[in-house]
Amino acid sequence: MSSDRLIYLPLGGAGEIGMNCYVYGYGPEGKERLIVVDLGVTFPDMDTTPGVDLIFPDISWLEARKDRIEGIFITHAHEDHVGAVGHYWEKLGAPIHARAFTANIARRKMSEHGYSESTVRTVGAWPEDSITAGPFTLGFVPISHSIPESSGLVIDTPKGRLVHTGDFKIDETPGVGEPFDRALWAQVAEPGVKALICDSTNVFSHHAGRSEASVGPEIEKLMTEQPGMVVATTFASNISRVRTIAQAGVAAGRSVCLLGRAMRRMIEAAVETGILDDFPSVVSPEEAKDIPRENLLLLVTGSQGERRAASAQLANGKYMGLRMKEGDTFLFSSKTIPGNERGVIRIMNQFSEMGVDVIDDSADRYHVSGHANRPDLKAMHEICHPELVIPMHGEHRHLREQVKLAGEGGYPGVLAVNGTMVDLAVGKPVEFFETGRVYLDGRAQVGQFDGIVRDRIRMALNGHVTVTLVIDEQSEPLGDPWCDLMGLPEMGRNGADLAETLESALGSWLQRADAKVLRDDAVLEKDLRTVTRRTTENEIGKKPEVTVVVSRLS
Ligand SMILES: [Zn+2]
Ligand SMILES: [Zn+2]
């Protein structure tokens, strides 16, 4: 028994905010039985991942040990925790466990990928309910966050109790969803905690976190004061906030209209699972057209400036027959996630051009974070009183800072980024595995290091030239090569046509090429590429990507 290991291995989410995926294992070295906590996605951006649709953690480590996986446990329904279940389930093949609301969202994703909804099992809250998976017994402990039924996991192992917080904040008045229950968490800590694996997102926010309940009165005041139509956006999954905004609208004498598929879908899931039973009645976009602007509130998707969301469509003109105009107000009851600033600023300016007042969270009144700030992280350390703190859900700087914070309280911390396997019984990293990302590109999954996106970026940055050359039966060029340009200017230096300049440079190089070169495709391609790049650089100061096509007549 003493040779059994209790391991922790993050594959995503430790060293970045997004695509969470954590593995725990217990058993003899190399034969540990495994559980997976969360299977999330992260979102691409134009700078580093142009054209990519979604980003997943690289789970090849897990795939190679598929027969050892006892179960998948999803802490809550945010995309960075549940987004990859449909795309990845086949590679893992283990049952998925979650509480009702999260399970509802996970089932929708599974059925979109053609899997049976029975692969997702609904579990009640700890301590009433728990699941045994191999050597582990797990319970979903309700915890407050910005989506209903978020849970921490209590993971009982033969070497002691682990606590995986999931995303959380300490909020005793969260609106929709369960308040943070100190007595329950004291019960979690009671037998002693071997390791606390803890959210790190807001470790740099030094003030105590504000409650969701503080937001409603501010929003209601704003809605009452605005003369025209109010359009508000937040994350659709923040059911509590969506309800707060809708109720504030009603209190301010406004009819509420929901716009955007995700908004309607989330409210539906919340009603179906019994989380939401007091959402104000809503009007359809058709009905909204006949309501005076000062009596109307639109609740829309697109708080991150997403191009296809309702907010962006309103910024472009109209959506479902509704338009914004001078005197209206647009409220962001949300925080812009780093990386999304440009999209958000673009729509802010579009609204500004229409004479619409845009109010964002810069005054810190209309939004509160769903993550624990530094004093609340400290409180969590004290509640759990663990032998070890392992920060997760954060960039490197966040993880490192939480190790320091834990140290200040006398708790040893281990900084474990993606790929670092920690033996929790000894509290030290023991192995390191290369991890990475997988891109969903259209319908294909491609590896981060496969070079596909790198090539795409190079073409975008440098332009592209296709050089086509025909060689006859005697290994002699049949006329000059010809060039097709993409993403390059038509004219070079002195106003000469760039394609023609390239063709004549390649033609004169070919006349000088010896017979040996003309017989060897590899050498020919390499040399034609070099001449093309050198000539283009000379003409326009850029070295393009080049494809050489040699056709031999035989
Ligand atoms: Zn998260
Ligand atoms: Zn979350």
Q: Which ligand is nearest to the CA of 78?
A: 2
List of long-range contacts for 205-210, beta carbons under 8 Å, 24+ apart: 205/369, 205/373, 205/374, 206/373, 206/374, 206/375, 207/373, 207/375, 208/373, 208/375, 208/376, 209/169, 209/170, 209/171, 209/368, 209/369, 209/371, 209/372, 209/373, 209/375, 209/376, 210/368
Structure tokens given for 503: 């063709």
Length of the chain in residues, anyone?
554
Residues within 5 A (CB) of ion ligand 2: 78, 167
Tell me the CA–centroid distance for residue 369 and ligand 2, in Å: 10
- Give tens-digit pLDDT for 277-307: 889 999 999 999 999 999 999 999 999 999 8
Rounded Cα distance between 133 and 82, Å, is 20
Tell me the CA–centroid distance for residue 145 and ligand 1, in Å: 10
- Answer CATH for 212-363 from 1.10.10.10, 3.40.50.10710, 3.40.50.1000, 3.40.50.300: 3.40.50.10710
- Amino acid letter, 246: A
Cβ within 8 Å of residue 410, ≥6 positions away:
none
* Ranges assigned E (strand) in 436-496: 437-441, 444-447, 464-471, 482-486
Backbone dihedral region of 353: left (phi > 0), alpha (psi from -120 to 50 degrees) or beta?
Answer: alpha
Is it the case that residue 1 has pLDDT exceeding 70? no
Structure tokens given for 136: 């582990």
Structure tokens given for 258: 């929901």
Tell me the CA–centroid distance for residue 79 and ligand 1, in Å: 8
Tell me the CA–centroid distance for residue 360 and ligand 1, in Å: 22
Structure tokens given for 376: 């609340």
pLDDT band at 177 (very low <50, low <70, confident <90, very high): confident
Rounded Cα distance between 348 and 24, Å, is 44
- Give tens-digit pLDDT for 480-502: 899 999 999 999 988 999 999 99
Mean pLDDT to the nearest integer, 405-422 = 98
Tell me the CA–centroid distance for residue 507 and ligand 2, in Å: 61
- Amino acid letter, 36: V
Q: Which ligand is nearest to the CA of 145?
A: 2
Q: Give the strand order in the sheet containing 545-552.
A: 482-486, 464-471, 545-552
Rounded Cα distance between 423 and 170, Å, is 29
**DSSP β-bridge partners for residue 196:** 163, 389
Mean pLDDT of the chain: 95
Rounded Cα distance between 138 and 154, Å, is 6
Tell me the CA–centroid distance for residue 73 and ligand 1, in Å: 14
Q: Which ligand is nearest to the CA of 147?
A: 2
Tell me the CA–centroid distance for residue 543 and ligand 1, in Å: 42
The phi, psi pair for 485, rounded to 5°, reads -100, 145
Tell me the CA–centroid distance for residue 202 and ligand 1, in Å: 12
- Give tens-digit pLDDT for 50-74: 999 999 999 999 999 999 999 999 9
Q: Which ligand is nearest to the CA of 37?
A: 1
- Give tens-digit pLDDT for 512-522: 998 899 999 99
- Amino acid letter, 42: T
Tell me the CA–centroid distance for residue 121 and ligand 1, in Å: 21
Number of Cβ within 10 Å of residue 232's Cβ equals 29
How far, CA to CA in Å, does 145 sit from each of 76, 173, 175, 224, 398?
9, 11, 11, 28, 18
Contact between residue 233 and residue 311 where contact means Cβ atoms under 8 Å apart: yes
Tell me the CA–centroid distance for residue 531 and ligand 1, in Å: 50
Tell me the CA–centroid distance for residue 146 and ligand 2, in Å: 7
pLDDT of 46: 84
Owner of token pair 């647009």: 330
Rounded Cα distance between 312 and 381, Å, is 41
Residue-range domain boundaries for the chain = 4-207+369-447, 212-363, 463-552
Q: What percent of the chain has pLDDT over 70?
A: 100
- Give tens-digit pLDDT for 7-17: 999 999 999 99
Specify the pTM. 0.91
pLDDT of 392: 98
Tell me the CA–centroid distance for residue 322 and ligand 1, in Å: 33
CATH of domain 463-552: 3.10.20.580
**Do 463-552 and 212-363 fall under one CATH topology?**
no
Is it the case that residue 243 has pLDDT exceeding 90? yes
Mean pLDDT to the nearest integer, 152-177 = 96
Tell me the CA–centroid distance for residue 78 and ligand 2, in Å: 5
Q: What percent of the chain has pLDDT over 90?
A: 89
Rounded Cα distance between 262 and 237, Å, is 8
Closest among 318, 326, 328 to 296, alpha carbons compared: 328
Tell me the CA–centroid distance for residue 364 and ligand 2, in Å: 20
- Amino acid letter, 269: A
Tell me the CA–centroid distance for residue 76 and ligand 2, in Å: 7
Is it the case that residue 2 has pLDDT exceeding 70? no
Contact between residue 506 and residue 423 where contact means Cβ atoms under 8 Å apart: no
Tell me the CA–centroid distance for residue 18 and ligand 1, in Å: 6
Question: Given this structure, which CATH class describes domain 4-207+369-447?
Answer: alpha beta
Tell me the CA–centroid distance for residue 393 and ligand 2, in Å: 9
Tell me the CA–centroid distance for residue 317 and ligand 2, in Å: 32
Q: Which ligand is nearest to the CA of 13?
A: 1
Beta pairing class for 464-471 and 296-300: unpaired
Cβ within 8 Å of residue 154, ≥6 positions away:
126, 138, 139, 141, 161, 162, 163, 188
Helix pair angle (374-384, 182-189), 10° resolution: 50
Rounded Cα distance between 267 and 385, Å, is 37
- Give tens-digit pLDDT for 334-393: 999 888 899 999 999 999 999 999 999 777 799 999 999 999 999 999 999 999 999 999
